[in-house]
A and B are shown apart, each in its own frame.
Chain A
Amino acid sequence: MKKWLEPFGTAWVGVSTHKLRSFLTVLGIVIGVSAVISLMSIGKGTQRDILSRLSSLGSDLISISPGASFTSGGVRGSVGSAQTLTQEDAAAIAQGVSFINLVSPTYSTRLQLVAGGENTNATVTGVSTDYLEVMRLKIASGAFFTDYEYQRGAKVLVLGSGVKETLFGDSDAIGQQVRIGNSVGFVIGVLESKGTGFGSPDEAVLLPLTAMQQIVSRTRTTQGEYVVSTIVLTVSDEKKIDNVISEITSLLRTRHRLAASASNDFTITSALELTQTVTEASGTLTLLLGAIAAISLLVGGIGVMNIMLVSVLERTREIGIRKAMGARERDIWLQFLMEAAFLTLAGGIIGVIAGWLISYFVSRTGIVSAAVTPDIVILAVSVSVGIGLFFGFYPAWNASRLNPIEALRSE
């Protein structure tokens, strides 16, 4: 055997002598590592899901909602509940703010839809012709409404794939009549599906904002301007997103005649900012999950230390013999340290495989998706070896410091 391999061989003999004991010790590490792997991969997978949904929106997107985003003195309505944004605001932004690409004011409300014998309750959104491009939506069949239809206030509907499915099943929806609130509209298009969940357009019903204003009454302010729910817009240059936001802010503050001391009566959110927030929040969540799992790894490490202390005690005579053969303290120390690291490395590798399997089966259920990334695997294996070295250090040091004469005399 090669000289540098000898400590490995010795460690293997030490571990394999007490197979059940070694197995139970390793089990503690296996559970810890697999818990870290599976929980962190679930955290990562969830983060990846949310981010991919968000990225389908595009990082050039800005959305303006009425109402303040936070309360500072006094009770304020939540975002979206106030009626402070108007269609004229949207027009002013489109004209007065630089680096803006497309703007679409929207007005949403939940309405009853009836088609033939089927009916559903959906969020119906009145939008402008640019909305499709702003939100990066695609038409699966039929067409989106034209400028002409928009100006006429035609009651033409574009359905999300989920709504179309509910109302028409597999049959063709294009040209079909749908009762919408107290009016009647015609389906002219169906949106491509983006999958259910966060921000999915599958449950959306779109029609011209002008038509929406006929269907729903009370959409005007006391000044006679049309109220909108949100204004979505895209910037022409993503690097200018902060400038655009501050320009919009000052424009809207002027238009809304807010005093210098008053806070904004609207909230501006950029997709970029949202992505950062979600990344941060889910990153924290992943770390938290990992930390909880790491506690079990710590307990496993204490188990290793316990077993190593017992092992040193049992093998006092062996240590004495080795010392009589000329083993230096470093040799003895290394032998027991290797044995501890051997145990935890084995536990780490088995734990990675077990954790991988767990996250695989968790993903198969479809509830959450788990992503085992190389950094998690490397982290878990190196942490488990580190635990072996850390918790093996003291027992190994104890062993190396034994007096050879007393060690030889022990039973």
Chain B
Amino acid sequence: MIHLKGITKTYLMGKRELEVLRGVDLDIAKGDLIAIMGPSGSGKSTILNLLGCLDQPTSGSYFLDGREVSRLNRGELAALRSQKIGFVFQSFNLLPRLSALANVELGMRYSGGVDKRRALDALARVGLSERANHRPNELSGGEQQRVAIARAVVKRPPLILADEPTGNLDSRAGAEVISILTELHAEQNITLVMITHEADIARHCQRIVHLKDGQVEREEKV
């Protein structure tokens, strides 16, 4: 499903060039559940942004479902995001002015249109049917992240990218979020790529990719 070959990413910081990724090779099969770990500055977020078609590599090639992503323009990237990718962020990134339901509907808004029944189903799946009309500030952190997960899966994307989904949660809420994510992965045959700091969360995955200094240091199977 995902094929990364010789990916590099260099940012310009003023006049200095900052090489964040230095030749990453990675293959992810359909239905994989992968954790990416590594110290800060190892390039975890950069690689997730590239996988999520939010950014383009400086060099190397990225194939997503057989399409060469590194050649696409901004509009084509947006179309790809709308069809293939669901995001779960560390800081939830819900729109504060919208209800939980409207936030979930936002996940469908740019990929074929809003379907209220499917949005309600997705909320029910994460156990928040009762909270459909609550705004994010009326929900706990764990509940907010569950709304965000419902928003990511509502359009049934083949790929879910989670950037430290438990980073802002206490351990009980974090465990709940991880169990929902892994259940959804199993039920819907979703390819799930997750960045995490925590080793016991990474243990729920099938494969762990360790990054260091912009390169894959090692991979381990769980």
Residue of B nearest to A10 (CB): B109
> Is A324's CB under 8 angstroms from B87's CB?
yes
Interface size class of A (residues with CB under 8 A): 20 to 34
- Neighbour of A328 across the interface among B75, B87, B89, B151, CB < 8 A: B75
Interface residue SS majority, chain A: helix
Cα A56 to Cα B167 in complex, Å, equals: 86
Asked if A3 is at the interface (CB within 8 A of a chain B CB), the reply is yes
Q: Given A1-B114, A408-B93, A323 and B78 touching (CB < 8 A)?
A: yes
Q: Does B74 contact A (CB under 8 A)?
A: yes
- Contacting residue for B83 out of A321, A322, A326, CB 8 A: A326
Given A404-B54, A405-B49, A405-B54, do A325 and B97 touch, yes or no (CB 8 Å)? no
Residues on B with beta carbons closer than 8 Å to the beta carbon of A1 = 114
Task: Report B-chain residues with C-beta under 8 Å of the C-beta of A408.
Answer: 54, 89, 93
The answer to whether A329 has its CB under 8 Å from any CB of chain B is yes
Q: List 12 A-B contacts (CB under 8 A).
A: A13-B97, A321-B95, A322-B110, A325-B110, A326-B85, A326-B110, A327-B109, A328-B78, A329-B74, A329-B78, A404-B54, A408-B93
Convert A370-411 into 0s and 1s, putting 1 for each residue whose CB lies closer than 8 angstroms to a CB of B.
000000000000000000000000000000000011001000
Partner of B52, one of A6, A17, A322, A324: A324
Question: Complex formed: what's the CA distance from A405 to B56 in Å?
Answer: 11
- CB <8 Å contact, B75 and A322: no
Q: How far is the CA of A327 from the CA of B93 in the complex (A)?
A: 15
Q: Which residue of B lies closest to A331 (CB)?
A: B110
* Interface residue? A318 (CB, 8 A): yes
The 7 closest A-B pairs by CB, nearest first: A326-B82, A326-B110, A326-B81, A328-B78, A327-B110, A404-B54, A324-B87
Asked whether any CB of chain B lies closer than 8 Å to the CB of A155, the reply is no
* Cα separation A6 to B113 with both chains bound (whole Å): 9
Does B209 make an interface contact (CB < 8 A)? no
Within 8 A of A (CB), among B104-136: 106-107, 109-111, 113-114
A322 touches B114 (CB 8 A): no
Is B24 in contact with chain A by the CB < 8 A criterion?
no
What separation, in Å, do the CA atoms of A318 and B95 have in the docked complex?
Answer: 7
A29 to B180 alpha-carbon distance, docked (Å): 50
**Is B28 at the interface (CB under 8 A from chain A)?**
no
Query: How many angstroms between the C-alpha atoms of A3 and B113 in the bound complex?
Result: 6
Set of chain B residues within 8 Å of A331, measured between Cβ atoms:
110
* Distance from A18 Cβ to chain B, minimum over Cβ atoms (Å): 10
Tell me whether B55 is interfacial, beta carbon within 8 Å. Answer: yes
- Contact status of A325 and B81, CB under 8 A, knowing A6-B109, A405-B55, A408-B89: yes
What is the distance, in angstroms, from B177's C-beta to the closest C-beta of chain A?
18
Cα of A76 to Cα of B113 in the assembled complex, Å: 81
